[in-house]
Structure 1
């Protein structure tokens, strides 16, 4: 599993946050599960900023179950009071069983009909020691039953996403298509059907996540070096990507990436 803070823009400001591996029987459906828990004093809040993975999430909270689409920009949520969420970062193989058109969910969250799931996860989350593992088991068991057997095209879509999001040598859709032995058009259709984003957008998201992590973690690293190492044409290209998705420059992010003072 990747760094548990990858995609989190300000990890030092997170409330209690866990990423857990899925049970083996749903490994083709779920990349990992994630559980934030928070208890924030009255009158205060905690803003969480993310450059999310190019994937859908199935999320259970006390108020219900939602399906959250892939995003085209940074997203944020203001946490207040006390609460929790149990989410599954879905692999492409799970998506076809949950929505016909994942592109219609871009930058959107919709209530998802899952009778009994919210209550079952809530019981697990209130069950004492080991509650996170039990909540993950409940969510993943429901998902496995909902999806059923994974067909070969869905497995191919999983291979596509894994390649685009993990191989730094893949910098263009053409390279990815050649590696997967499909046409670029087939690759594009696969990404549209199982993620809702283009292959190029998925590659850009991987590079942006990696750039944010390096900029945040290595204060002395030159931004031009980061740009070159991650396949950007130059530092200006990196800055343009930051502004387009996050709304600020790499330099501004580096200056603001430390813990927020009370």
Structure 2
């Protein structure tokens, strides 16, 4: 990989094409870089908006980054102006959008986890509604205000940032080390096992495992598998001629069958079927 995989620019930009399985089906969608005030807490903000005719639905499939997301949202299927905390996921997921709505979400970095829970394992595959009017109200006001979408989005991110920056003390050294661990796993394709991550971060395997339990909510192995699956899906979408066996080798799967098994387990379909669906 070119450049320092843990630089701030890399943190903000890398992986933005991953996670969404069928980008062509997205409603209006924007990702906004994390402002400096919360750069240690948020990887980026994401803002979808949709306005669908009566009787129409848009199903959004995700193979999400295994991290917490804090979301302010408004839509026909949610209580008015709710705030939700989404835990790390272990499988692909989807949501059906109907009517008119929007969301303003923050993809949280590991250092933000202690602000919301002492046990991220308890949030795996969970979505919790939170009573946070001090966050909800200014974000709703910004999104429902006057002006073009870009201005409303900027105001909503500013409101979200102000609230989050005041949420608690600055991350300590251990929390920042957890950030570095997550960055190394997600951005460095040479990291294929927990020992590799430990070497890159400069700590013991035991320390890596402890950081994962406290700040990530999923194992290092799960993070590595998710990174490889996201990359595999992205490359299959954009290269119709890519041989799946070649892709498996380039992503350090032992063979074509292991990549297919991971696809089936997490996405419920084979790589070939996914490529056909994504092109349709």
Both proteins in one fold, TM over 0.5: yes
Tell me the distance in 2 between the aligned counterparts of 1:256 and 1:46: 15
Question: What residue is the counterpart of 1:100 in the other structure?
Answer: 118
**1:4-19 correspondence to structure 2 within 5 Å:** 4-19=16-31
Cα shift at 1:147: 3.0
Question: Cα deviation per residue 1:19-58 (whole Å; 9 max; x = unaligned)?
Answer: 0001111101000000000000000100000000011000
Contact 2:14 2:187 (8 Å CA) reproduced:
no
Residues 1:174 and 2:195 are matched in the alignment: yes
Structure 2: gaps of 5 or more residues: 1-12, 75-80
Residues 1:78 and 2:105 are matched in the alignment: no
Match of residue 83, structure 2, among 33, 48, 65: 65
Question: What residue is the counterpart of 1:244 in the other structure?
Answer: 265
Question: Cα deviation per residue 1:207-235 (whole Å; 9 max; x = unaligned)?
Answer: 00000000111010100111111111111
Cα shift at 1:3: 5.0
Tell me the distance in 1 between the aligned counterparts of 2:214 and 2:247: 32
Q: How many residues align?
A: 259
Pick which of 158-167 and 113-122 moved more.
Answer: 113-122
Residues 1:121 and 2:139 are matched in the alignment: yes
Question: What residue is the counterpart of 1:133 in the other structure?
Answer: 154
Tell me the distance in 1 between the aligned counterparts of 2:108 and 2:168: 12
Contact 1:92 1:158 (8 Å CA) reproduced:
yes
Residues 1:2 and 2:14 are matched in the alignment: yes
Tell me the distance in 2 between the aligned counterparts of 1:182 and 1:229: 27
Tell me the distance in 2 between the aligned counterparts of 1:143 and 1:117: 8
Question: What residue is the counterpart of 1:199 in the other structure?
Answer: 220
Task: Point out 4+ residue stretches in structure 1 off by more than 4 angstroms.
Answer: none
Question: What residue is the counterpart of 1:48 in the other structure?
Answer: 60
Cα RMSD between the aligned structures? 1.0
TM-score (norm 2): 0.90
